[in-house]
Amino acid sequence: MEQKDKNRPILSVSNLTIDYAFYRVGPFSAQHHAAVENVSFKVYPGDCFAIVGESGCGKTSILNAILGFVRPKNGAIFYNEQNLLTMARREFRLYRPEIQPVFQDFHNALNPRFRIIEILKESLRICSRKDISIEELIAVVGLGTDILNYFPHQLSGGQKQRIVIARALIPKPQLLLLDEPVSSLDITVAVQIIKLLKNLRKKENLTFLLVSHNLPIIRLLANRIAIMKNGHIFEEKPTEDLFETPEHPYTRALVNQALISCQSYQ
Partner 1 sequence: MKISANHPLAIGCIIIFFIALFVIFGPLFTSYSQHSQNLAISLSSPSIQHPLGTDYYGRDVLTRLIYGGRISLGIAVFSAIIAVLIGTVLGLFTGYYGGFPDLIIMRFVDVMLAFPRLFIVLLIIGLGGSSIPALIWVIALFSWMEIARIVRSEVMSLKNRTYVKSARAQGFSVNRILFRHILPNTINPVIVATVLSISTIILVESGLSFLGLGVQPPNASWGSILNDAKIDPLGTWWLSVPAGFLILFSVIGFNLIADGITEELDPRKN
Partner 2 sequence: MPILSIENLSVRTRKFKPASLLEDISFVLNPGETLAVIGESGAGKSTICRAILGILPKSLEIRGCMNYNHSEIEISIGNWDDDRQFTPLRGSEIALIFQDAAGSMNPLRKCGNQIRDIMKTADNHTSITKQSILDFLSQTGFREPDTIYRSYPHQLSGGMAQHVALALALAGQPKILIADEPTSSLDAISKQKYLDRLAIMKKKYDLSLIFITHNLNDALSLSDSILVLYRGRAVEFRKTADLKTSPKHPYTGDLLNLLRSVNQSRMPDEMAENFPVGGNHDSGCPYCQKCSRATALCGKTFPPKTIIEQPYYFCCNYPLEKK
Q: Which residues bind partner 2 (CB under 8 A)?
A: 53-56, 156-157, 183-189, 191-192, 194-195, 198, 213-217, 219-220, 243, 253-254, 257-258, 261-266
Question: Which of partner 2, partner 1, none does residue 217 bind (CB under 5 to 8 Å by kind)?
Answer: partner 2
Radius of gyration of the chain (CA): 19
Residue burial 194-212, b: 16+ Cβ < 10 Å; e: rest: bebbeebbeeeebbbbbbb
- What is the DSSP track for 204-235? TT-EEEEEES-HHHHHHH-SEEEEEETTEEEE
User: What 3-state DSSP class applies to 150?
Assistant: coil
Using the minimum distance from each CB to partner 1, give the nearer residue, 47 or 180: 180
Which of 96, 156, 186, 259 contacts partner 1 by CB under 8 A?
96
Smallest distance, partner 2 to C-beta of residue 264, A: 4
Residue burial 128-149, b: 16+ Cβ < 10 Å; e: rest: ebeeeeeeebbebbbbeeebbe
Does position 206 bind partner 1 by CB under 8 A?
A: no
Q: Shortest CA distance to 233 belongs to which of 255, 248, 254?
A: 248
Query: Which amino acid, one-letter code, is at 258?
Result: A
Query: Cβ neighbours of residue 89 under 8 Å, at least 6 residues apart?
Result: none
Question: Which of partner 2, partner 1, none does residue 103 bind (CB under 5 to 8 Å by kind)?
Answer: partner 1
Does position 99 bind partner 1 by CB under 8 A?
A: yes
Question: Which of partner 1, partner 2, none does residue 196 bind (CB under 5 to 8 Å by kind)?
Answer: none
Smallest distance, partner 2 to C-beta of residue 170, A: 24
Smallest distance, partner 2 to C-beta of residue 124, A: 26
Binding residues for partner 1, rule: CB under 8 A, are: 67, 69, 93, 96-97, 99-101, 103, 105-106, 108-113, 122-123, 126-127, 164, 167-168, 170-171
